[in-house]
Chain A
Amino acid sequence: MHFVELFRKHTFVFILGLIAPLTVFTVFAGYPILYNLFLSFTRWNGLSPNIQPVGLHNYIELSRDPRFILSLVNTLKWTILSLLISLGLGLLLSIVLFLGKVYLPSLFRLLIFVPVTMSLVATGIMFSLILSPEFGLLDQSLRLLHLTGLSHFWLGDYRTALYVLIAIGAWGYAGIPLMLFHAGLSEIDAELLDAARLDGASDFQLARHIILPTLRPVFVIVALLSVIQSLRTFDLVATMTQGGPAGSTKVLGYFMYSETFWNNRFGYGAAISVIMLVLSSGFAWTYLRSVANNALHVSKQ
C-alpha cells in the first residue's frame, strides 16, 4: 500500500501509526546519531557556543591514545568471553533441564532468572560486598575452608578485576540465554525424542542430532543479543571499579562517559561513541531484522 493511499483512506493510521513514531525516532535516535557524528569531528567543551571543527583530529588522537586501545581491547575481551559464557552456560543448563535431570526445573529457572530483574547497580553493590577484602564473604569462606592462600583482593588487582566483572555480568545475564534456549527446546517434538531413545540413542546423540539443530535460530539470537549488550557495557564498571585499577576495567562505554562528562571533551567522547556505534551496528541490524520479520510474519529466505 502506498503512503498516499494510506494517507487518503486511513488518515488516522497514517498519522498516529506512521508519522508519530517516525517523529519520535527522529528526535530521539535519528537526529542524535547524526549530530553525534558531526560532533565527533569537532572540539567542544560541552558548554560554550564555540564548537570548533577539527576534521579527523579526534579519530587520529584515538588511534594513538593508549587508554582508548586499552578500552577497546577490554571491550572485545568482555564481548568474546560473555558470548562464550552465555552460549555455553545457556546451552548446558537448558539441555540438562530438558533431559529432566533436575528436581523442580521451573524453580531452577526462576532462580537463575532473578538476577536478570536486578539492576546492575544493585548486583554490583552486592558483589562488592562479597568480594571486599576485609569483611567479604568470599574471603571469610576461604578462611573457613583453610584456603587463605587463595584469598585475594579480586577487584583491586589489575590482572583479575576485568575477569571478575565479566563473571558478575554473566551471573546477572545467564537467565536470558537459559530462558531463550529453554523456550526453543520446548518446540521439540517429544515423540521424536522418545522414538530416538527407544532406538538406543544416548543423551549425547540426542543433543547432537535433534536438540542442537532445533536450537540454531535461538543460538543466533542469543549470540547477537549478548554481543550487543557487551559492547555498550557501563553500569557494572561504573558501580564497582570506575575503570580501575590502573585502567584495567576501562571499557568503551565507560571511557566515553568519563572523557565526555568528567574531562568535558564532548567532541572526543562523541568520536568514541561513533566507534561504539560502528562496532555494534551490524549485530544490531541483523538482530532487529530477524525479530521484525518474526513479528510481522515475513518468512525468512
Chain B
Amino acid sequence: MIAFVLLWSLPLVTMVFTSFKPDQEVLTRPFGLPHTWSLDAYRYAWRTLGYKDLLWNSALYSVVGTALAILLAMVPAFALSRFQIKARVVIFVLLLTPMMLPQQTVIIPLFNLFRSVGLVDSRFGLILLHAAFGMPLEMLVLTGFISNIPKELEHAARMDGCSDAGVLWHIVLPLSLPAIAVGFTLNLIDVWKEYFFSLIFLSSENIMPVTLGIIRVTNDRYFRTVNLPAAAVIMAQLPIILLFVVAYRWITRGIYTGSVKS
C-alpha cells in the first residue's frame, strides 16, 4: 500500500516542488522541497503561453457547453423516465451512443459539416460539439435520478391542473438539483480534459483551451527547462483539481449511480 501511495503521490508532489525551483536547482537537487522558492516559472509560463486566454477559453467551453448539454438533456430525461414510451430502452441507448463512440468515427463528417457552415475555428462551433457530446452523460445522470423521484408528488400536481411543462418546472426540476450538480461537475471535468475535438476544430491561438495551449511546452525550446512545463501543467489542472476535491463525494457517487446501480 505504501508503494501505491508513493507511486501516485510522488509524480504529483515532485512536479509541484519542481515548479517552484529555480532552473539550476532542479538539476542539482531534484528532490525535496525547494531551497529557494521561486515563482519565475509561473510568471514566465503565464506570459509566454498566454494563460489568461487559455484558462478563460477552457472555462467558457466547459461551463457553457455543459450548461447547454443539461438544457438539452432535461426534457428527454423527464420523458424517458416518466412516460412509458414505445421502445424507450432502444431510444435511450441510441441517444447515449455519442458518449461511447470513438471520436475518430465522426470527426471527418463533422469537420466537413462544420466547415461548410463556417463553424470551424469558432468558439461557438466547439461549444456546440461539447453540448451535443455532453448531452448523453447528462441524460444518463438525470434519467437515473428522476426515475427515483416518487410519482405521488407528480400526481398531486397534475390533480391541481399542472401541465407536463408545469410538472417538470415545479416538481421535477427543483428535486433534480443534486443530480444537475453532479452532471454539471462530471461533464465540466470531461470538457476541461478534452483534446481531440479542440485539436481538429481550432487553429487560432486566441480561442484555444488549456489542453491545446500547454502542449506547446513539449517543444524543445521549453523542454530544456523543467520548471516551466511543471508550472504549466499545474496551472492548467489547478482549477479543476480544486473543484474536484470540493465535489469529490458527489462525483464518485454520481459515476457509480450512472453506470452500475440506481
Residues of A in contact with B (beta carbons under 8 Å apart): 1-3, 6, 10, 12-14, 16-18, 20-22, 24-25, 27-29, 31-33, 35-36, 39, 46, 93, 96, 101-102, 108-115, 117-122, 125-130, 132, 135, 137, 140-141, 144, 171, 174, 176, 179-180, 182-184, 187, 217-218, 221, 225, 228, 231-232, 234-235, 238-239, 252-253, 256-257, 260-261, 266, 269-270, 272-274, 276-277, 280, 284-285, 287-289, 291-298
Structural contact, B144 and A120, CB atoms closer than 8 A: no
Shortest C-beta distance, A140 to chain B (Å), equals 4
The docked-state distance in angstroms from the alpha carbon of A16 to that of B139 is 13
The docked-state distance in angstroms from the alpha carbon of A203 to that of B159 is 56
A-B contacts, 18 of them at CB < 8 A, read A18-B79, A20-B72, A20-B76, A21-B139, A25-B95, A27-B113, A29-B97, A29-B98, A33-B101, A93-B4, A101-B1, A111-B8, A119-B237, A137-B18, A252-B104, A288-B96, A289-B89, A292-B92
Interfacial chain A residues near B80, Cβ < 8 Å: 17, 296
Shortest C-beta distance, A65 to chain B (Å), equals 17
The docked-state distance in angstroms from the alpha carbon of A187 to that of B260 is 12
Structural contact, B72 and A280, CB atoms closer than 8 A: no
B26 at the interface (CB under 8 A from A): yes
B164 at the interface (CB under 8 A from A): yes
Most chain B C-beta atoms within 10 Å of own C-beta, residue among A2, A121, A176? A121
Structural contact, A120 and B195, CB atoms closer than 8 A: yes
B75 at the interface (CB under 8 A from A): yes
Structural contact, B260 and A266, CB atoms closer than 8 A: no
Structural contact, B5 and A253, CB atoms closer than 8 A: no
Structural contact, A2 and B86, CB atoms closer than 8 A: yes
Partner of A13, one of B84, B164, B195, B236: B164
Q: Mark out the residues of chain B between 195 and 229 whose CB falls within 8 Å of any chain A CB in the assembled complex.
A: 195-196, 199-200, 210-211, 214-215, 217-218, 223, 226, 229
Given contacts A1-B83, A125-B217, contact A297 B147 (CB under 8 A): yes
The docked-state distance in angstroms from the alpha carbon of A35 to that of B241 is 39
Interfacial chain A residues near B262, Cβ < 8 Å: 294-295, 297
Interfacial chain B residues near A108, Cβ < 8 Å: 1, 4-5
* Beyond known contacts A17-B75, A125-B233, A128-B229: 11 more, CB 8 A cutoff: A32-B106, A33-B105, A108-B1, A111-B8, A113-B248, A117-B244, A118-B193, A137-B30, A225-B259, A234-B103, A260-B107
B59 at the interface (CB under 8 A from A): no
Given contacts A2-B86, A102-B1, A285-B93, contact A135 B27 (CB under 8 A): yes
Structural contact, B109 and A273, CB atoms closer than 8 A: no
Shortest C-beta distance, B191 to chain A (Å), equals 10
B232 at the interface (CB under 8 A from A): yes
Interfacial chain B residues near A274, Cβ < 8 Å: 105
Structural contact, A112 and B100, CB atoms closer than 8 A: no
Q: Specify the chain B residue showing the minimal Cβ separation from A236.
A: B195
Partner of A125, one of B88, B109, B229: B229
Structural contact, A39 and B241, CB atoms closer than 8 A: no
